[in-house]
Amino acid sequence: MNSGQLALGAYVALADPQIVEIIGISGFDAVFIDMEHTAFDLSLVQQMIVAADLVDITPIVRVSDSDPGFILRVLDMGAQGIVIPHVDGLEGAKRAVDAVKYPPVGLRGGAGATRAARFGSVEWGDHVRTSNEEILLSVMAEDKKAISQVSEIAALDGVDLVALGPTDLSQTLGVTDPSDPKLRLEVERIAAEVKQAGNTKLQMPMNHPAFPLTASQLVELGVGYTNVAPQPPAILMKEMKNAVRETHKTLGRKI
pLDDT at 1 over 80: no
* Residue 15 φ then ψ, to 5°: -80, 65
Spatial distance between the Cα atoms of 87 and 1, rounded to a whole number of angstroms: 23
Give the percent of the chain with pLDDT over 90.
81
Spatial distance between the Cα atoms of 14 and 205, rounded to a whole number of angstroms: 18
pLDDT in tens, 53-71: 999 999 999 999 999 999 9
Which residues are identified as catalytic? 37
pLDDT in tens, 91-124: 999 999 999 999 999 999 999 999 999 999 999 9
pLDDT at 210 over 90: no
**Cβ(204)–Cβ(213) under 8 Å?**
yes
pLDDT value at residue 109: 97
81 three-state secondary structure = strand
Q: Is 69 exposed, middle or buried (0-12, 13-18, 19+ CB in 10 A)?
A: exposed
Long-range contacts of 205-212 (CB under 8 A, 24+ apart): 205/11, 205/165, 205/166, 205/229, 208/166, 208/167, 209/178, 210/166, 210/167, 210/170, 210/178, 211/166, 211/169, 211/170, 211/178, 211/183, 211/184, 211/187, 212/178
Mean pLDDT of 136-150: 96
Spatial distance between the Cα atoms of 70 and 164, rounded to a whole number of angstroms: 23
Answer whether 0.75 is exceeded by the pTM.
yes
From the list 96, 164, 86, the residue with the least C-alpha distance to 135 is 96
**Sign of CA pseudo-dihedral 179, 182, 185, 190:** negative
Summary mean pLDDT of the chain: 94
**Sign of CA pseudo-dihedral 21, 22, 26, 32:** negative
Mean pLDDT of 66-81: 98
DSSP bridge partners of 83 = 62, 138
Spatial distance between the Cα atoms of 133 and 185, rounded to a whole number of angstroms: 33
pLDDT at 18 over 90: yes
pLDDT value at residue 232: 76
pLDDT at 226 over 80: yes
pLDDT in tens, 144-182: 999 999 999 999 999 999 999 888 999 999 988 878 889
pLDDT value at residue 233: 77
Q: Is pLDDT larger for residue 1 or for residue 27? A: 27
CATH superfamily label, 7-230: Phosphoenolpyruvate-binding domains (3.20.20.60)
Q: Mapped to the 3 state alphabet, what secondary structure does 26-56 carry?
A: CCCCEEEEECCCCCCCHHHHHHHHHHHHHCC
Q: Which residues contact 34 (CB under 8 A, 6 or more apart)?
A: 11, 12, 13, 40, 62
pLDDT at 215 over 90: yes
pLDDT value at residue 92: 98
pLDDT in tens, 230-240: 677 788 888 89
pLDDT value at residue 2: 63
pLDDT value at residue 230: 67
Mean pLDDT of 77-90: 98
Could you tell me the residue ranges of all domains in the chain?
Answer: 7-230
How many Cβ atoms from other residues are within 10 Å of residue 96's Cβ?
28
